[in-house]
């Protein structure tokens, strides 16, 4: 089985960003800047956000984290976002999800300027994306497409199954695979007999949000398996995905590990998006 090493792909893509960032700096007297907003004290989210900042700095970009108390109001959050929208030194804005229950991601996505939408999740960005027009694209599914391309996995004509229908992963993933000429089935938590679908697929992208949900028996021989899951406590406290990776050896053709598969590529796409947004805004 080919292990689809997301760190390897990330290293290559991030290295290719360095000269672009140098060129931006030479022209604009500052590097591209990403601002990350996090609300509350969810430990895992804080780890992800710190990793994003470290990744920015490693490629020569700068990053600020706005860490807000869990009881901030929607108005206060929106006001901060408006300030960041107006701040010429900010190229990308990312609000880490999930938010505390009293805050609305819908409000956030309406407020962040599409010109600074590092996540590719505002409705303007998604509109362009689903209409097939160039734009920043959602980071996780775009990272998956970059992994497939790097390992020369051509999905054209494949039967692909996506498990999960979120706006962040499942829906855009299904669209990207369709763009790449796969025949896509989108399954979700209400799908009956999920395994009947996944077992027919040449490629399965699992973004179900359930630790170790699928294993060898759910995939056909020589399937390509992409695991988008990230769970801190699903496997004796070890980080694990939605797939029982250890069962796939000798069965799947290729699969992404967790950690070290899709996760690093999500961050790498975020860096690409931020760089692109900075370059576009500087041209105006
Ligand atoms: N939480 C988990 N994944 C993501 C992501 O890609 N973007 C944001 N903003 N929050 C997330």
Read off the pLDDT band of 94 (50, 70, 90): very high
Whichever domain contains 239, its CATH number is: 3.40.50.720
Domain region containing 145: 139-262
Residue 267 pLDDT: 98
Q: What is the pLDDT of residues 110-156, one digit of tens each?
A: 999 999 999 999 999 999 999 999 999 999 999 999 999 999 999 99
Whether residue 106 is found in the same domain as residue 157: no
Q: Is the CB of 95 under 6 A from ligand 1?
A: yes
Whether residue 145 is found in the same domain as residue 109: no
Whether residue 145 is found in the same domain as residue 248: yes
Q: What is the pLDDT of residues 162-215, one digit of tens each?
A: 999 999 999 999 999 999 999 999 999 999 999 999 999 999 999 999 999 999
For residue 185, the SS3 value is strand
Mutate to test the pocket of ligand 1, among 45, 97, 118 (most ligand atoms within 8 A of CB): 97
CA dihedral 185, 142, 261, 192 (to 10 degrees): -20
3-state SS of 98-145 is CCCCCCCHHHHHHHCCHHHECCCCCHHHHHHHHCCCCCCCCHHHHHHH
Q: 270 phi and psi, to 5 degrees? A: -60, -40
Query: Rounded to two decimals, what is the model's pTM?
Result: 0.97
Q: Is the CB of 168 under 6 A from ligand 1?
A: yes
Distance, in Å, from the CA atom of 238 to the CA atom of 65, rounded to the nearest integer, reads: 27
Q: Is the CB of 97 under 6 A from ligand 1?
A: yes
pLDDT above 80 for 235: no
Greatest C-alpha distance within the chain: 57
Residue 168 half-sphere exposure toward CB, CA atoms < 13 A: 18
pLDDT above 80 for 161: yes
Q: What value does the mean pLDDT of the chain take?
A: 97
Q: Which residues pair with 92 in a beta bridge?
A: 34
Residue 119 falls inside a structural domain: no
Whether residue 83 is found in the same domain as residue 186: no
Whether residue 182 is found in the same domain as residue 254: yes
Residue 234 pLDDT: 62
Distance, in Å, from the CA atom of 145 to the CA atom of 277, rounded to the nearest integer, reads: 20
Residue 23 falls inside a structural domain: no
Whether residue 144 is found in the same domain as residue 255: yes
Residue 232 pLDDT: 86
Residue 225 pLDDT: 99
119 is catalytic: yes
Residue 269 falls inside a structural domain: no
pLDDT above 70 for 91: yes
Residue 237 falls inside a structural domain: yes
Distance 133 CA to ligand 1 centre (A): 22
Alpha carbon nearest to ligand 1 atom 4, residue: 97
Whether residue 45 is found in the same domain as residue 147: no
Q: What is the pLDDT of residues 46-66, one digit of tens each?
A: 999 999 999 999 999 999 999
Based on the number of CB atoms within 10 Å of its own CB, is 161 exposed (0-12), middle (13-18) or buried (19 or more)? buried
Residue 279 falls inside a structural domain: no
């Amino acid at each position: 089985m080919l292990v689809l090493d997301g760190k390897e792909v990330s290293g290559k893509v991030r290295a290719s960003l360095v000269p672009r960032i140098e060129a931006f700096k030479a022209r604009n007297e500052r590097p591209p800047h990403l601002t990350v907003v996090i609300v509350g004290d969810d430990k895992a989210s804080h780890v992800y956000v710190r990793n994003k900042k470290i990744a920015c700095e490693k490629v020569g970009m700068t990053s600020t984290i706005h860490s807000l108390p869990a009881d901030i109001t929607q108005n206060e959050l929106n006001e901060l976002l408006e300030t960041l929208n107006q701040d010429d030194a900010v190229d990308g804005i990312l609000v880490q999800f999930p938010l505390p229950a009293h805050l609305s991601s819908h409000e956030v996505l309406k407020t962040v300027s599409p010109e600074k939408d590092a996540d590719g999740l505002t409705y303007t960005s998604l509109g362009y994306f689903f209409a097939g027009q160039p734009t920043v694209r959602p980071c996780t599914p775009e990272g998956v497409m970059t992994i497939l391309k790097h390992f020369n996995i051509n999905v054209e004509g494949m039967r692909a199954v996506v498990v999960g229908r979120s706006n962040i992963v499942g829906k855009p993933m299904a669209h990207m695979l369709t763009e790449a000429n796969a025949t896509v089935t989108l399954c979700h938590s209400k799908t009956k007999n999920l395994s009947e679908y996944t077992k027919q697929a040449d490629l399965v992208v699992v973004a179900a949000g359930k630790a170790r949900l699928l294993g060898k028996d759910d995939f056909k021989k020589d399937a390509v398996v992409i695991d988008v899951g990230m769970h801190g406590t699903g496997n004796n406290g070890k980080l694990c995905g939605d797939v029982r990776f250890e069962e796939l050896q000798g069965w799947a053709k290729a699969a992404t590990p967790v950690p070290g598969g899709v996760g690093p590529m999500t961050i790498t796409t975020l860096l690409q998006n931020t760089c692109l947004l900075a370059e576009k805004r500087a041209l105006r």
